[in-house]
Structure 1
Amino acid sequence: MTSGATAASTSEVSTETQIAQITALRYPTKRDEAWRHAPHTVLGRLSFGSPSAIAGEVPWEIDAQIPALDGPRIVIVNGVVDHARSDITALQVGLDLSTTDHRTGRVADRIAVDAGSGIEHVADVFVALNVAFSGDRVGIHVAPGRHLDAPIHIVMVSTSAGTHNTSCSKLAIQLDAGSSAKVVETRLGESSEFGGANTRTTIALGDNTTLDHIIIQDVPATHVHLSRTEVTQGAQSELRARLFNLGAAYGRLVYEVQLAGEGARADLSGLYFGSGDQILDQQINVIHAAANCTSRQAFRGVLDDESTGVFNGAIDVRPGADGTDAAQSNDNLLLSNRAEANTQPRLEILADDVACKHGATVGQLDDEALYYMRSRGIPATEARRLLINGFADQAVHDVDIEVLRTWIAQRLGHDDD
């Protein structure tokens, strides 16, 4: 492999041939705009292979970090479903949760199903590795006209157990016409050794559906987290995505939405909160492929020490997508003169009668606000904390599940006021 990443052989028929096809794909370099700020040497240390037959052990301290949500829960450890920690005993009518054993089927067959036309059409080698080596596939299917009240919680845990240091997980979500649901993805991990996780979520929203999708990435600072979500929306469907990129030495969050049906709406917001030498990388792309669709992107970054935040956001208006209404914003707060924010909002418009706008800001704490608070008797440390919380809380308050708001607020070191 040109990047130094490794993929181990398995006992499946033609596996060596399939691995050769994967490794022949070009690995990203700093010349690729979407990967320009990635730590390529660190990525080269990731190793991939088929997951173990059983789920690995989860340390008690990781178990205790999992948010306690009402509703069904599936726990995936190193790509394998942990049935003992999962709870799917009382499913609402119209909800189907399924798992597919990763030991069935050849790599070539999985590629054909997941990648459409096959490996030669997968541009990203990390997507190809996920297709080939993802463990038990988890599926969420909501029947037509069903409205689910309780959130569906998918917990992905990566530990240092196993032959390979990187696990791959795959989740598929499908909402049939007229249905609604909430799906929460929580990504955690064990911090003792270097490791990685490569997750991929595909979402298909039928006509007149509504999905609230929340991702919380909080793996340890010894890990690499590669996350990719691909959404296709039908007519008059609505997506509300709330994305929190908090952990990892390198946390990459790719979220791509295609508004394929007329009148579809997508509302994406997120927070990345970096410290130490973390690199938190947001790659957001909304494609307007149908008429009269609406999209919103609002992302905030808080960056301390020598951390780096990346926001590469695109609004792509295709021919025929007349009546598009799209807006994008990215605001960054630097708490150190060594922290760095790289923001690149982009518009590509190939249709008429559209309303599109974007903007980005990078700044430090307001000296006047700090002075005002100090003059009212608030200690400097407390004043600084309040200003940071006020900036970050605008993203946290967008989450309408109270348990999650509290969990995120505690993770950020302040109460959910």
Structure 2
Amino acid sequence: MTVLKQFATSPGNIVIAGAGIAGSAAAIELLARGFRVKLLARPERSAQPVVEALGEHTVRLLAEIGCVSVLKQAAAVATRGFENGWQDAAKPTFIDGIRVHVERHTLAEAMRDEAVRRGARLELIERLEIRPTSALEAGGCTWWAALDATGRSARWSRPVQRAGRATATLYTGPGSADARPGRIVRIDERSWAYRIDHPTISTIGVIGESAQSGRLPGRVVELLDVKAPDRFTTIGHRTAYVQWTREPFQGRLLAIGDAAFACAPLAGQGVRFSLASALAAAATFRCLREGADAALAADYYRGFVHDARRRHMDMLERLRGGTFIEQPLFSLDRLHVRVTARVCMTTLLHQGNLVRSAAFRMVDGGCVRWIGSFDLLQLAELARICLPATDLAARLVLSGLNPQQADSLIRWCLQHRILAPIRPASSIPMR
């Protein structure tokens, strides 16, 4: 009898193929929601170390599943900002914000160990021979639900589609004791490079430019301000193109992480999507277990993956034109605002339930209705006409927010273009 056939059909049992960051995060979240989880993973093999930079939102997702402690276990270090040389490689611009630098394989191992500590059953197998299908719900099934967290191989979620043929050449070298900010530079129209330091090792990735005799290209050394370049060695080549499964939701088989959507390394969003998709899949399974409509669940999860891919592709298109979009800063003094985002109908997850609801359509195509417990549709009434931002803040305070929350909410809505800055009629000069 196979490993999978030994797994009971109870609605509380879920099997996960892959025990990397996505699979382990999903296991942790599912265990917290009362499911029983089996993780299928290949025996450990030596892996070349690769340092990644996690943004603040990624760290918040780790906090959401109670796993910030794994960063300490993985010897992660925090640094402030990164240097963006996309528009001018010789003079990078400093972009503020906290980044956490961590070796990816060490983080994945720490996540897996945490999942096992919390109750996940781990089984090591050399090869996944069985591919679940839409027949999961039939009487002959041996598990109630399954997750594909097998990365770009997408063993249970084929066929996949790809965009581009980019390849990254990775180098590793001595670490930097001060864990200085990472740097990204554009070399030419078809190639770019990045550097991320850690106290123990540093990683350099060159995308679109071939390695030369195992040595870093001289221009890369110069633009990335590489210390001791002679001590860097090539550790291999990785695919750097966008890839996605054609169907991330197949009955009770969901694809998460790179198996669902593998983004280009340019935005540094791989770990963030792995965690976000794990949370979304766990919420979807919870709703299905409690009787949610399967069509509604499919609409939600497919939309979640599709929106993430579309936002990423839109960003890549802007970057091909040489534009690196930075979030604008707004001063609310003397600023007038009005709701300009349109309202649409979509499927959303709210308080653990899937609902068909009206929501704001953001400029990146995503939809949003609630920020925490605040219903953003209240803004449609509070700011249906142009008014000073300070007046809107006062109205939000009267609705139950504190002043800091009101200020943060307005800035967030401006950045996501739910609100737009408007010149009041009185400020327009008469002709």
Superposition TM-score, scaled by structure 2 size: 0.26
Superposition TM-score, scaled by structure 1 size: 0.26
Hey, which of these two has a bigger chunk of strand by percent?
Answer: 1
Higher relative contact order (CA 8 A, sep 6+): 2
Hey, which of these two has a bigger chunk of helix by percent?
Answer: 2
